[in-house]
Structure 1
Amino acid sequence: MDEEQQQFLPLKLNVGGTIFEALPDTLAKIPSSKLSRILTGSEPSIQQIGSREYFIDRDGSLFGYILDFLRTSELLLPGDFCDYDLLVKEVEFYELDPVLYTLETLQRKNKSEVLEIRCIRKGTGALFRVFGSSMETVDELSSRITMHVEKKNLSPWASVEKKNPTPVQNPSFYDLVFQCGANPYVNGGQVNIYVQLTPADRKILLGFNVLGILLDYLTKVGFYLQSTRTVHHQEDTVECYTFKRNMN
Structure 2
Amino acid sequence: MMTLVESKAEFEITKRSMEDESEIKDAVFYNVTVPFVETFVLKNPGDFCISRTIDGAFYLSIVANKKDKKGGVRVVGIPGLIFARADTLAQLIYQLKHENMDILSGVLEEKLTMNRLLGPQVTAVHNILQTGKAVKVQRKLSQDTTSPIYIGEMKFSDEKIKEAVFEEIPGGGQNPTELKTFFEKLVNSKSLRGKNLPIRIPIGAIMNPPTLIYENNKLEVGCNLEDFLFFHQNRLDLTQRIK
Task: Normalising by structure 1, report the TM-score.
Answer: 0.21
Q: Which has the larger radius of gyration?
A: 1
